[in-house]
């Protein structure tokens, strides 16, 4: 039997964002933060996520300026890097995930940590002024913070810190928020993940919904 449902992609998209704006409590966000938060809610399918989203002052503007200046985007997982919509990138920015680099397994063994964390060591040459997006591994976010405790480590322009999970996710994001090692956005608690992180990247990369 035929079903009655919306088949126009643009109409589905428009109605989705209108529904989010009607139902979500977005009053505390600056306009550029609201745009990013709406896309994060859309990716999660969860009105209420906004209660857990926190931006440090000027984070969106700083991250957007970095991308417009050609900064690379470093991602902790392929699920994040593959989700970035390249046509939204303002300067053909490089999107880099080093998790599967041949050096990573040995680095992880030497450092006594996960491959996700060790992979960040390969970011150092281009980390200065970059946008960092961590949406999967709390160990990666903790390791980034450890790297940034070194005054000689290059500083990223901004950090999207949204790892998901039951072990270390909440704590790593709280550590990022307290350290303020760079302008950042987090999703508090256990919530997060690759889809939410990708949505934040894509929203920062282009103001278009």
| Residues labelled catalytic | 42
Indicate the length of the chain as a whole number.
209
Strands (E) in the chain, as ranges, are 53-55, 73-75, 95-96, 131-134, 158-161, 184-187
Buried b (16+ CB within 10 A) or exposed e, 90-106: eeebebebbbeeeebee
Residues 6+ apart with CB under 8 A from 184: 55, 56, 59, 158, 159, 160, 161, 176, 177
- Return the residue matching tokens 């979500």: 24
């Amino acid at each position: 039997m035929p079903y009655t449902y919306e088949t126009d992609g643009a109409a589905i998209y428009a109605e989705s964002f209108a529904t989010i704006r009607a139902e979500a409590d977005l009053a505390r966000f600056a306009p550029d933060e609201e745009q990013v938060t709406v896309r994060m809610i859309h990716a999660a399918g969860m009105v209420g996520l906004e209660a857990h989203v926190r931006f440090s002052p000027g984070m969106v503007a700083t991250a957007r300026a970095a991308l417009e200046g050609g900064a690379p985007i470093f991602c902790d997982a392929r699920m994040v890097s593959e989700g970035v919509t390249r046509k939204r990138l303002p300067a053909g920015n490089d999107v880099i995930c080093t998790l599967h680099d041949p050096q990573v397994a040995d680095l992880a063994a030497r450092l006594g940590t996960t491959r996700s964390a060790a992979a960040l060591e390969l970011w150092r040459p281009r980390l200065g002024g970059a946008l960092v997006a961590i949406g999967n591994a709390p160990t990666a976010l903790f390791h980034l913070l450890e790297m940034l405790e070194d005054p000689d480590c290059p500083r990223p322009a901004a950090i999207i810190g949204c790892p998901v999970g039951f072990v270390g996710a909440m704590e790593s994001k709280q550590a990022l928020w307290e350290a303020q090692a760079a302008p950042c956005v987090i999703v508090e608690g256990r919530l997060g993940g690759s889809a939410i992180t990708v949505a934040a990247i894509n929203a920062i990369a282009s103001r278009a919904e």
